[in-house]
Structure 1
């Protein structure tokens, strides 16, 4: 068994304290602005297919039938998800629900992108968030 020295214990305690501080301060950062107007932009093959305002009351089912394939996007409760797709791997369905500007759902075989954008655009805003 390894015996810890006083310096080793001090380093471990410092790492734990620093970790808690980082966690505390990153979770206190400003979150999504609830009053910010958002919209869902659906593009097929790089062209805008449809734009829908996104809020808690928006409830819509959008069928997208193109030469590339068929998708069904559902907007409900301020969230958007891909309900159905006839693509082979169904990764777009597994991406889950999105609700924050910058989030997107992508179906490559059907050349479809569903993304949430904010109405207020700032030059310092992020263009893309990768999870």
Structure 2
């Protein structure tokens, strides 16, 4: 399930980037498109993973908000990895194809790391329950 949701998240992320670049070609277009793609995929992946991968039930809205904040915070590190690889490909090869290829590579690396971080630090109660 995680791989399916990671693929859906990647498609959402890169799809939003492509749409953004088509709509806006001004200053910092690439950088803003990368941020927009990330912002679109993050809540989608959180909801799907929380429910279907980690089978985690929030206690209430406040708990869910704190959990999303922690999930997002863990994503800072993996997003930095993803952005670095994608933007590195952009700087090295200066083509949209290379940038998106770097994006895919960066997303895969980031998703692998994100799963481990979420299992260990975010959805802890669910991970402990599954281990018992």
TM-score greater than 0.5 by the shorter chain: no
TM-score by length of 2: 0.22
Q: State the structure with bigger RCO (CA 8 A, min sep 6), 1 or 2.
A: 2
Larger radius of gyration: 1
Bigger helix fraction = 2
